[in-house]
Structure 1
Amino acid sequence: MAAGNRSSNQLVVPQANGALDQLKYEVAQELGIAIPQDGYFGNMVTRETGSIGGQITKRLVQMAEQQLAGK
């Protein structure tokens, strides 16, 4: 887990951790949200973290749909 991450969620595929982190930073940048350098999200507004999480979920669903469609 990343420093400061207190989530009890565990990845089914631990090797995907790096790709998910990269996706988090890409989405945040696209939304114009600065991610704290120390990795601690506790001082961020809930709306910002929710926006990041929502966009990540949307992208992951799109990726899964494309994979299921054989693209």
Structure 2
Amino acid sequence: MARGSDTSNQIVVPQAKNAMEQFKYEVASELGIQTPNDGYWGTMTTRDTGAIGGHMVRKMIEMAERSLAGRGGGTTR
């Protein structure tokens, strides 16, 4: 899966690429996972990369929820 993975999960907002890359390193650090010195993540275990990705998603959902809650109002069904 590592081969070609750059093309399968494209960032919707290209300007956010650097921020997402930095976010990945921050999350890995929070989890105590050693990041690759050369920037190549393909030699890492699936368990570690999955933990990083899963934690990133949880944190992004939390940020979105906080943003929506801060707006007030919103839509209800």
User: What is the TM-score with the length of structure 2 in the denominator?
Assistant: 0.78
**Residue 51 of structure 1: aligned partner:** 51
Structure 1 gap segments, 5+ residues each: none
- Code of the residue aligned with 2:53 in structure 1: it is G
Aligned to 2:74: none
C-alpha deviation, 1:7, in angstroms: 1.8
2:12 counterpart of 1:29? no
Deviation larger for 30-39 or 45-54: 30-39
- The amino acid that maps onto 1:27 is V
> Structure 1 runs of 4+ off > 4 angstroms?
none
Structure number with larger C-alpha Rg: 2
What is the number of residues matched between the two proteins?
Answer: 68
Larger relative contact order (C-alpha < 8 A, sep ≥ 6)?
1
Structure with the higher helix share, 1 or 2: 2
Which whole-Å CA distance do the structure 2 matches of 1:42 and 1:48 have between them? 11
Contact 1:5–1:40 (CA<8 Å) still a contact in 2? no
SS in 1 for 2:61: helix
How far 1:5 sits from its partner (Å)?
7.4
1:17 is matched with 17
TM-fit CA distance, 1:6: 3.7
